[in-house]
Amino acid sequence: MRTKSEAKRQKILDVAAQVFREEGFERASMAEICARVGGSKATLYSHFPSKETLFFEVMFLSTEAEFEATHAALNPDTGDLGDALRHFGRRFITLLTSPEVMAVRRLIVSESGRSALGSTCYERGPKRSEGIMVAFLEKAVEAGKLRPGNLRVMTLHLRGLLEAELMDGFLFGIWETPPEGLVDGAVERAVEVFLRAYGQP
């Protein structure tokens, strides 16, 4: 059963999500969110010390289900490693290029050096993803599907290859959605290069 504090926190998140959808990050204000939630600003700020922190939490929660589904695609029991990596890669790119994740990435860049938001995002996003990917690749090495190596470096190389052809277009606002066929082609090429580098001869 939720405590009163937990229920209040959830209400703030629900209202904030609606305000951010309607107004966007820049135009949304903590005053407007507080007015819709009801209660004092002190209560709002006791849960979320800044608009940036609140925005991050809203975006994080909106992508959590997709994050879990994406990483569940890394099934160590899959027979064909290439197929498993391609399936994961397509879901991974879809997650990374979603409006919510791209909004958080841009916010982290703008807040760099001014708050602890970046480290919070890293712990709950990239670092958590990295741990799941490392565990998957470790199973693939144990099964003889990949050559032994530094698992963290292998993970970073895989992630970098998957992002290589697409991230600039999204980070710099060149694309709203990727050009048709680019994701599948980019994932195919990324997995091919990765398996050439780390696959068994």
Residue ranges of the domains in the chain? Answer: 1-48, 56-198
pLDDT of residue 41: 87
Residue 1 has pLDDT above 90, yes or no: no
Separation CA 154–CA 174 (nearest Å) = 29
Q: Which pTM was predicted?
A: 0.81
pLDDT of residue 63: 84
Architecture of domain 56-198: Orthogonal Bundle (1.10)
Q: Considering the chain, what percentage of its residues have pLDDT values greater than 90?
A: 43
Q: In angstroms, what CA-CA distances link 101 with 3, 125, 167, 187?
A: 30, 10, 12, 19
Which of 45-49, 51-55, 106-110, 147-151 has the least mean pLDDT?
A: 106-110
- Tell me the average pLDDT of the chain: 88
- The topology under which CATH files domain 1-48 is Arc Repressor Mutant, subunit A (1.10.10)
Q: Which of 15-29, 93-107, 126-140 has the highest mean pLDDT?
A: 126-140
| Residues 111/118, Cβ–Cβ less than 8 Å | yes
| Residues 15/33, Cβ–Cβ less than 8 Å | yes
Residue 111 has pLDDT above 90, yes or no: no
